[in-house]
Amino acid sequence: MTKASVGPRLIRPTWAEIDVNAFRHNLAAVADHLPRRVKIMAVLKADGYGHGASPLAKAASVLGNRLWGFGVSSVEEGVALREAGLKEKILVLGSLFPFDSFDTVLDHHLIPTVASRASASALVQRAQRRGRPAPCHLKIDTGMGRIGMSPEAFASFPKNPWLQVDGIYTHLACADSASVTAHQLKLFNQTIKGFEKRGESPHVGNSGGVLARPASHYSLVRPGLVLYGIVPWPALGRTIDLRPVLSWKTRVVFLKTVPKGTPLSYGWTWRTRRRSRIATLPVGYADGYRRDLSNKGQVLVKGRRCPVVGRVTMDQILVDVSGLTGVEVGEEVVLLGRQGRDQVRAEEMADWAKTISYEILCGISKRVPRVLT
């Protein structure tokens, strides 16, 4: 079944399979979708959106010189990639504070984001102490509202010989809106006018921008979700051939037959509507199988959909397998992914839970071993 495991040793039969070849396929598909001059910063935030950042970072070598490097959210994520042996450029996309963290960034040859005069001053001080300019990227806030200099603050941002500014960027707040994106790009282009001629590469395009907003491509893009085989909104699925990278699986650990009207799980929110065969699965909200999926979720057993019945608990869920024959303890169950001719997709699970696919993937907890296939 597996080639290698990442994380806890597999004893409890609940695990996530990571298809490294699917990740490589998605990288190549994104590269083919873009002009050849455009390089790719593979975004590996949140431990590669819950997939496991290090093995996927190593797989990204398939891009060759099209790969700029990697984007991470925090210093810790960047250090973890360095400790795993990655040599490529790594941009820390988050705002760094406390400023002492700049020392760790420079020690591990990471590239920090400078999003304010205060952070620029702190980085300059450390560069001076080390006797060499510090690489960085400047962040401009054009409408996302999280971090970044305002266009007005950027206009008066002083050039400093101790800052080696290799990039300038912003983030699209509504990539699914052509008008909002056009507004942000216009503001960004006006703000950086003249700077790109100094070798300070602009980059804007996230997954939605890569697929739907060519004006956001510049010479570098920052795809995230699409690399894991999922599009940010449904219409984009027609623009590129992607393969989901993660499958989440478990096994039946207990079976019972109960009469009609039997209440199940906490709060008795479900009663059987007929004599029913109920399977217990060793997975729950502590694993990231959201409580919102109570009485809504569906899983695949023998290639057929079976409903989650009763409330999702911390460590276990109940599934009605009454319509199937031959189900036994040990039967493999797919929570997310393909079995037979059917497939439970992250977007579908997100709809049931009234959230987004990003949260489904990132929410699969560390106690679920990741297994490379």
**Spatial separation of the C-alpha atoms in residues 257 and 260, rounded to whole Å:** 10
**Spatial separation of the C-alpha atoms in residues 341 and 41, rounded to whole Å:** 34
Burial 62-77 (b: 16+ CB within 10 A, else e): ebeebbbbbbbeebeb
**Spatial separation of the C-alpha atoms in residues 55 and 265, rounded to whole Å:** 38
Residues with active-site annotation? 45, 266
Query: What's the distance, Cα to Cα, between the start and end of the chain in Å?
Result: 7
**Spatial separation of the C-alpha atoms in residues 370 and 285, rounded to whole Å:** 17
| Token duo for residue 203 | 């980059």
Cβ-based neighbour number of residue 220 at 10 Å: 19
- The helix/strand/coil state of 279 is strand
In terms of C-beta density within 10 A (0-12 exposed, 13-18 middle, 19 or more buried), how is residue 9 classed? Answer: exposed
Helix residue ranges, H only, 66-113? 75-83, 101-107
- The helix/strand/coil state of 328 is coil
Amino acid at 142: T
Cα angle value 160/161/167 (rounded, 5°): 75
Amino acid at 4: A
Best CA proximity match to 291, nearest among 279, 271, 308, 278 = 308
Amino acid at 141: D
Q: Given the structure tokens 């598909």, which residue do they identify? A: 29
| 26 φ, ψ (degrees, to nearest 5) | -65, -40
